Chains A and B, each alone.
Chain A
């Protein structure tokens, strides 16, 4: 028996578990997988796009709440999102920087300029503005980064505030491990954590770049040294100018940095982590949830708690499911879903947001799950993160804001005894 069970090891689950444990609760975190953070780009997005690119995320968020009452932010409220950002920045000192009130744009591997408000110091040099001159450098052995494509698209995209960025591509030929032509960003990160390899790497980069004011490299600049950023700091020293990381397809090294820092905090706060555990049953009485049953090696195991935070993610994790007959379900508790009534949940236009991906659970301001009639399903069940209905998080760039805001709202409700 613990005070609270948290389901899910992504950003919202980890933050909820740590916050409750730090407040003195006994917390068990159950997770089927390793959490979504390691797939993410490692920034904290609040709102990147509404109808246009967003410069002032909280200003646009306030307007969004008024026009779209089904958006998760409407239930969460701007204050909880701000509180979440502030909590995370303080929980991970030195790992996140930026101004929550203002989006900056950072280049991605294909050369798009992507808006976000909090970012890692190793990305800061890539804040786009007109007149900058960048060297974009990548090793031939990394198949997920083509400096030519990245630089050319940066160069033809108007920078926020006007003007253009001059970006020049350079190639280096240095495998992360000797004799390997196909190295992932993670392999590079592990090699770059070694001082010897770092010296070789810096030398190879210095040998090709021109007199550009900053150097952009794929997001792979170290993982395990100190706070995770030591390799990046050392590369800046060795190269004598700003060096910045550019977001890549997963595995995401910046996402892993956030993940391992939060896991360390959870362990330090006494959170009991049960990974690789699939919830297969639920025990409840009336409106009270009592426990969940986990499939574990050898036998099924029952876990009971006073409170539950459900943060399993959306369709990407399997928490939401669409079967071959078109039936939608939430696979852990069988919760009622919102947004699945439309006839055209999926359409043939790839570039249009699909209504299917806005399907999820509806919640009140305490993040308690509501049924179709707006009644609370279980008084002690709160939902957070990607399972919430109402947003296409990847397209509007709101995933972390929703995760953090809902985690704060859910944990507040538990701590205040709602």
Chain B
């Protein structure tokens, strides 16, 4: 058993945990972050990639809108590479109430959110595919973010300040010394190694899984209400700006251009288990209908993948528990000393990705209040490592790279223009990674062909470069294909059926991957 010690242990490697561990480390705390899976593999990797302008909230909750507006500017500056400044439109469609637009403008003024009303003609000039019958349009500063890159760059900053980041490390027990937290026991799921971590404070940032973590500490049940949101990615960008429906929030009211695809979101259904999120066809149909009303012809475009994420809402008595969208979007901090007589532990619920940095600041402030110390928060002023040149993401960056190295390097994934050198560097950096872990880093297999061509190359390279053995290489290939299918089969229609059959012809028909020797143990 490996023994470690820290001032603070953070459980949960999503955006909240990553923001918290960075803030802690910058304030001088020795911090360790644990996640049972990959960083941002849960909710923070399963959303539509919107960096809110605040427009979504200005009518119902101008305070939230104001926070979004200011955090949007900060994140765009400190994590420039993970943000694309697409801009956004709020459009009042032919079926929508034009009066909502006035409320929208009033809310924006109250939240001090930049907004400009433009004519329907100007909106159509910006985005020719939106519904030509629109009545009003408002231009806002929505952007798009890569959830994984935000989290990695935050933890890279934390590491620079001495924090330890341990993904694929599952907390097995929380140890108490009577009435206070003493440490945690954990296991490295890739190597099997056991860890004992001594700590003075524990921050539970496990989102939809926060109730499970609180239970490990022997607290009274923390009731988390995971709200399942389904999203569907289309094969290319139907719009280059974020397009929002300017109406009371509803299902499928936003299309977000994200990397090479665009994503429609989202539904919202209360579920019990955040580990088993279905993608019901009924909800996919709802999203396609909603897409059709924002962008006519949406159903004829090609859907390539769907996924579901769990909103991490903690139950609030103000609204009926089955309607998670109208619960407070704000964060909540639960102090287990008042609640359970356990000192040295806070549980965080709710929040949104756009304001993750501010949430982290509040959480660490709350912890310092408990400890009676105070250090200034500097996370808004200092850029994360690698972001100092402050260039924002551009969709064409990979094309520019391939144009430069197309004669000297191979393109491993044509859909996402991923180069061989970049992929091999990742293999070296993450020797225990699955192809899905590498996909999150590189977008391998996330484009229209969904792994038809690149998956066998990735497995071949991983083995040929001597990083893994043959059983693992073959197992990783099989696992990757099965995992891609999870997000494919619920939305399979139209031209993606053609693609799937071509992929099957290649992988099963020509290469016969389904008759490679079966693995003797599960690949993790």
Dominant secondary structure of chain B at its interface with chain A? helix
List the one stretch of A199-207, A236-244, A264-272, A390-398 in contact with chain B: A390-398
Q: Which of A108, A143, A322, A325 contacts B511 (CB 8 A)?
A: A108
Are B463 and A346 neighbours in the complex by a CB distance under 8 Å?
Answer: no
Nearest B residue to A112 via CB reads B512
Nearest B residue to A354 via CB reads B489
Nearest B residue to A346 via CB reads B489
Are A109 and B498 neighbours in the complex by a CB distance under 8 Å?
Answer: no
A110-B477 contact given A321-B494, A322-B493, CB 8 Å threshold? yes
Nearest B residue to A317 via CB reads B498
Give chain B interface residues in 372-404, CB to chain A under 8 Å: none
Are B411 and A182 neighbours in the complex by a CB distance under 8 Å?
Answer: yes
A350-B485 contact given A41-B509, A111-B516, A146-B463, CB 8 Å threshold? yes
Q: When chains A and B are docked, how far (Å) is the Cα of A147 from the Cα of B477? A: 16
Are A249 and B517 neighbours in the complex by a CB distance under 8 Å?
Answer: no
Q: Mark B52-94, 1 if CB is under 8 A from A, else 0.
A: 0000000000000000000000000000000000000000000
A112-B516 contact given A149-B464, A156-B470, CB 8 Å threshold? yes
- Give the contact-size bracket for chain A: 35 or more
The answer to whether A174 has its CB under 8 Å from any CB of chain B is no
Chain B contact residue count (CB 8 A cutoff): 56
Q: When chains A and B are docked, how far (Å) is the Cα of A108 from the Cα of B288? A: 40
The answer to whether A247 has its CB under 8 Å from any CB of chain B is yes
The answer to whether B167 has its CB under 8 Å from any CB of chain A is no
Are B511 and A326 neighbours in the complex by a CB distance under 8 Å?
Answer: no
A143-B410 contact given A249-B453, A249-B511, CB 8 Å threshold? yes
Are B485 and A348 neighbours in the complex by a CB distance under 8 Å?
Answer: yes
A252-B463 contact given A114-B515, A180-B407, CB 8 Å threshold? no
For A179, the chain B residues whose CB sits under 8 A away are 407
Nearest B residue to A156 via CB reads B517
Are B407 and A395 neighbours in the complex by a CB distance under 8 Å?
Answer: no
Nearest A residue to B299 via CB reads A324
Q: Mark B493-513, 1 if CB is under 8 A from A, else 0.
A: 111011011101110111111
The answer to whether B106 has its CB under 8 Å from any CB of chain A is no
For A49, the chain B residues whose CB sits under 8 A away are 515
Distance in Å from the Cβ of A313 to the closest Cβ of chain B?
9
Distance in Å from the Cβ of A183 to the closest Cβ of chain B?
9
Are A326 and B493 neighbours in the complex by a CB distance under 8 Å?
Answer: yes
Are A112 and B509 neighbours in the complex by a CB distance under 8 Å?
Answer: no
For B501, the chain A residues whose CB sits under 8 A away are 314-316, 357, 394
Are A394 and B299 neighbours in the complex by a CB distance under 8 Å?
Answer: no
A148-B502 contact given A41-B510, A348-B485, CB 8 Å threshold? no
For A375, the chain B residues whose CB sits under 8 A away are none
Are A149 and B460 neighbours in the complex by a CB distance under 8 Å?
Answer: yes
Give chain A interface residues in 298-344, CB to chain B under 8 Å: 314-318, 321-326
Are B493 and A149 neighbours in the complex by a CB distance under 8 Å?
Answer: no
For A144, the chain B residues whose CB sits under 8 A away are 453, 456-457
Q: When chains A and B are docked, how far (Å) is the Cα of A157 from the Cα of B511? A: 14
The answer to whether B263 has its CB under 8 Å from any CB of chain A is no
For A146, the chain B residues whose CB sits under 8 A away are 457, 460-461, 463-464
Q: When chains A and B are docked, how far (Å) is the Cα of A397 from the Cα of B514? A: 12
Give chain B interface residues in 443-467, CB to chain A under 8 Å: 453, 456-457, 459-461, 463-464
Are B510 and A157 neighbours in the complex by a CB distance under 8 Å?
Answer: no
Nearest B residue to A313 via CB reads B501
Q: When chains A and B are docked, how far (Å) is the Cα of A315 from the Cα of B489? A: 15
Nearest A residue to B473 via CB reads A149
Q: Mark B280-292, 1 if CB is under 8 A from A, else 0.
A: 0100010010000
Are A356 and B497 neighbours in the complex by a CB distance under 8 Å?
Answer: yes
A357-B504 contact given A144-B456, A149-B464, A249-B510, CB 8 Å threshold? yes
Are A322 and B494 neighbours in the complex by a CB distance under 8 Å?
Answer: yes
The answer to whether B492 has its CB under 8 Å from any CB of chain A is yes
Nearest A residue to B456 via CB reads A110
Q: When chains A and B are docked, how far (Å) is the Cα of A148 from the Cα of B493? A: 37
For B490, the chain A residues whose CB sits under 8 A away are 348
Are B509 and A397 neighbours in the complex by a CB distance under 8 Å?
Answer: yes
Nearest B residue to A320 via CB reads B497
For B506, the chain A residues whose CB sits under 8 A away are 39, 249-250
Are B470 and A182 neighbours in the complex by a CB distance under 8 Å?
Answer: no
Q: Mark A168-210, 1 if CB is under 8 A from B, else 0.
A: 0000000000011110000000000000000000000000000
Are B504 and A395 neighbours in the complex by a CB distance under 8 Å?
Answer: yes
The answer to whether A399 has its CB under 8 Å from any CB of chain B is yes
The answer to whether A152 has its CB under 8 Å from any CB of chain B is yes
Residue with the highest number of chain A CB atoms closer than 10 Å, among B408, B456, B481, B512: B512
Q: When chains A and B are docked, how far (Å) is the Cα of A199 from the Cα of B66? A: 71
The answer to whether B434 has its CB under 8 Å from any CB of chain A is no
For A351, the chain B residues whose CB sits under 8 A away are 482, 514
The answer to whether A248 has its CB under 8 Å from any CB of chain B is yes
Q: Which of A143, A149, A397 contacts B463 (CB 8 A)?
A: A149
A108-B510 contact given A148-B463, A347-B489, CB 8 Å threshold? yes
Distance in Å from the Cβ of A96 to the closest Cβ of chain B?
17
Are B412 and A143 neighbours in the complex by a CB distance under 8 Å?
Answer: yes
Distance in Å from the Cβ of A363 to the closest Cβ of chain B?
20
Are A153 and B516 neighbours in the complex by a CB distance under 8 Å?
Answer: yes
Are B517 and A318 neighbours in the complex by a CB distance under 8 Å?
Answer: no
The answer to whether B474 has its CB under 8 Å from any CB of chain A is yes
Are A182 and B508 neighbours in the complex by a CB distance under 8 Å?
Answer: no
Are B498 and A318 neighbours in the complex by a CB distance under 8 Å?
Answer: yes
Nearest A residue to B492 via CB reads A346
For A326, the chain B residues whose CB sits under 8 A away are 281, 493
Chain A positions within 8 Å of B, measured between CB atoms, are 39-41, 49, 53, 108-114, 141, 143-149, 152-153, 156-157, 179-182, 247-250, 252, 314-318, 321-326, 346-348, 350-351, 354, 356-357, 393-395, 397, 399
**Given contact pairs A112-B513, A114-B511, A181-B409, a sample of 7 additional A-B residue pairs in the complex whose CB atoms are under 8 Å apart:** A40-B505, A149-B459, A249-B453, A322-B492, A322-B497, A350-B482, A394-B508
- Provide a sorted-by-A list of 16 A–B residue pairs whose CB atoms are within 8 angstroms: A41-B510, A108-B510, A110-B460, A112-B512, A112-B516, A146-B464, A152-B463, A157-B516, A181-B420, A315-B498, A321-B494, A322-B492, A324-B288, A394-B501, A394-B508, A395-B508
